[in-house]
Structure 1
């Protein structure tokens, strides 16, 4: 199976007030940690979307082995990043795993389990709810190419147009950093 990994890292970090992708985390940056996780998943293709802080990220983050997709419309929500990235997905891809660039607590084993789902859509079912990563089979990619807004992938997931597999995952949904409080929780080691 040919799997494309996509790390969303184009956001402007409006709620945080600075580029969250570049926040210090375990001796590197938050985005470095997420990209290290993505590399450990051995995707056949690894994409990352950049937008708001693209020039700083290019200077400070190790982008080795990553194909960069620039998203000029990053301020319109993550749907625009997914839409932009789908244009770069290798035609051989059986599907796409979607990861958040500010969520380093996801485990590679869980990524692989989601990617192995035999349905068009898959999502992790954590102890406290649904969360990333998501799996989108190749026949869903045309839908991803027309996404708009910030919760577009969630709307597609809940639309009922495709069967969805919920992959059981131990523990709570890993923290994704949107605010200072989220970042403090992440640094304290709370809930993965």
Structure 2
């Protein structure tokens, strides 16, 4: 099975007030940590979307092994990043696995379990709710090009148009860094 990984890192970090992708984390940057995780998952293709702070990210983040997709419409929400990246997915792809660039606490084993799901859509079912990563099967890939807004992938997941597998994952949803408080919780090692 040919699997494409997609790391969303195009946001402008409006709520945080600075490029969260470049925040220091374990001796590198937050985005470096997430890309290291993505590289460890064994994807056949690895895409990363950039938009806000793209030139700084290119200068400071190790993008080795990643195909960079620039999203000029990044301010309209992550749906535009998914839609833009969907056009760069290898035609051999059987599935696309979506990761957030500001969520380094996701475990590679959980990513691989989601990637192995056989339904058109799959999502992690953590102890406290649903969360990334998501898996989109080949039959869903054409729909990704038309996504808009911040909750677009969630709307697709809950649309009822496709069978969804909820992959059970131990522990709470990993911290998604949107605010200074989220970042401080991440650094403190809180769930």
- With normalisation by structure 1, the TM-score equals 0.99
CA distance in 2, matches of 1:102, 1:111: 15
Hey, what does 2:72 align to over in structure 1? 72
1:156 and 2:174 aligned? no
CA distance in 1, matches of 2:84, 2:145: 7
- Figure out how many residues of one structure are paired with residues of the other and give that number: 191
Secondary structure of the 1:139 match is: coil
CA distance in 1, matches of 2:139, 2:145: 12
Extract structure 1 runs of 4+ deviating beyond 2 A: none
Structure 2, unmatched stretches of 5+, are none
Secondary structure of the 1:68 match is: strand
RMSD of the TM alignment (CA)?
0.3
CA distance in 2, matches of 1:74, 1:179: 18
Secondary structure of the 2:11 match is: coil
Hey, what does 2:87 align to over in structure 1? 87
CA distance in 2, matches of 1:20, 1:114: 26
Superposed displacement of residue 4, structure 1: 0.1
Superposed displacement of residue 61, structure 1: 0.1
CA distance in 2, matches of 1:167, 1:95: 16
Structure 1, unmatched stretches of 5+, are none
For residues 127-160 of structure 1, give each alpha carbon's deviation from its aligned partner in whole angstroms, at most 9, with x where no partner exists: 0000000000011011111001010000000000
